[in-house]
A and B are shown apart, each in its own frame.
Chain A
Amino acid sequence: MSEPISALNHARYDGIAKVRECGLQGMITLRGDLSDKVLAKAVKDATGQKMPGQREALVDGESGVCWMSTDELLVLVPYAEVEAKLAALTNALSGTHALAVNVSDARAVFSISGSNAREVLGKLAPVELSVEAFQPGQIRRSRLAQVAGAFWMDDAETFRVVCFRSAADYVFKLLKAAAQPGSEVGVY
C-alpha cells in the first residue's frame, strides 16, 4: 500500500511565530447524545479523557477529545491507531443512536508557536484571543480569513489549528503572511 502523507508534508515557516504543518493526525468525528453514559465511556476508552463540556478541548499530545457542538465531538487519536479506535468506538456504540466517522485524511493540522502566536491567529480569526479570554483547554470553531477552521492551545504559547485538507495550502499561506517578520501588532 502507498504511504500516506499529510497535505503539506511538514511544511514550516519561521517568522514572528513558528508555523508548522503537523503531519498526519488521526481524527474521528463523533455525533450523538453527549449526555449518554455509553458514549462517554466509549470516548474515555478511546482517548483516556472525560466528556468535554461546552467548548472544552481535552488534548494530550496526539490523543484527546474536543467539543465541536452540542451533539458533536472531535476525537483525536494517533494516525496509526485510527482504524482500530474507530472499530472499537463503533462497536461500543452499536446500541446507541450515534455515528463515528474517520475524517483523518480530510483534515490538515498546523501548530503556531512562540510568544506572538496569539497575534498571528488574531489577525485571521474574528475571535477574542486575549490571555483572559482564551486559554489552553478551550476550543474555538471559527473562520480563518475565508475558510472554516478550529483551534485550541497546547500550552500558553502554542496553538493547534485544524482546517479542511482542501484548504491546507490556503491556510498555510495565510499563516505565513500573518507571521511575516516585523508584522507584530502588540495587542496581546
Chain B
Amino acid sequence: MLILNCPYCGVDAEESELSAGGEAHLKRFGPGSSEDEFHDYLFMRENPKGVHFERWRHSNGCGKWFHAARCTQTLEVFGTYSAQTTEPPKELKDAITAKRPGWTWREYE
C-alpha cells in the first residue's frame, strides 16, 4: 500500500484516497512546435527502475494536485512537494542523492 503525505492538508493519505496523475514536470509542446516535439510530449514517458517523479491528486480529500518522488523498485517514498513548481526542490534532490547516489531522472540529478 502506497501512502503519500499531502503537502496541502498534511495528512498521510492512503493510495485509495488519491488519484495518480502520471509523470511530473512535463514540458508542453503545443501549437508552433515541431511534429517530433509534439509526439514526444504526447507519448514519450520515463519508465525508470528506481527514482521517479509523479503527479498525484488528493481526490478524496482536499482535491489538490501535488508531486511525489518515489522509487519504482522498492516503493520507497522520498517525499512529496507542492505542485506550484517546475522542478523538484533542492532539499528533496539532496535527500534522494543521500539514499540513491548517482541517480538521474530526465535532466535532474
Contacts and interface: CB of A to CB of B under 8 A. Distances in A.
Contact of A70 (B14, B17, B60, B62): B62
Interface stretch (A41-49, A105-113, A138-146): A138-146
B64 interface: yes
Nearest to A70: B8
B104 to A, nearest CB: 33
B89 interface: no
A55 interface: yes
A142 B64 CA distance: 13
Contact of B11 (A55, A68, A70, A72): A55
Contacts of A55: 9-11
Binding site of A, secondary structure by majority: helix, strand, loop or mixed? strand
Contacts of A128: 12
* B contacts with A: majority SS: loop
A126 B8 contact: no
Given A55-B11, A69-B9, A126-B16, A142 B61 contact: yes
A148 interface: yes
Given A54-B10, A55-B9, A142-B17, A69 B60 contact: no
B64 A148 contact: no
Interface in B31-86: 60-64
Contacts of A70: 8-9, 62, 64
Contacts of A72: 62
Contact of A140 (B11, B63, B64): B11
Given A126-B17, A143-B16, A143-B17, A148 B10 contact: no
Interface of B: 8-14, 16-17, 60-64
Given A126-B13, A143-B17, 9 more contacts: A69-B9, A69-B62, A70-B62, A126-B16, A126-B17, A128-B12, A140-B11, A141-B60, A142-B61
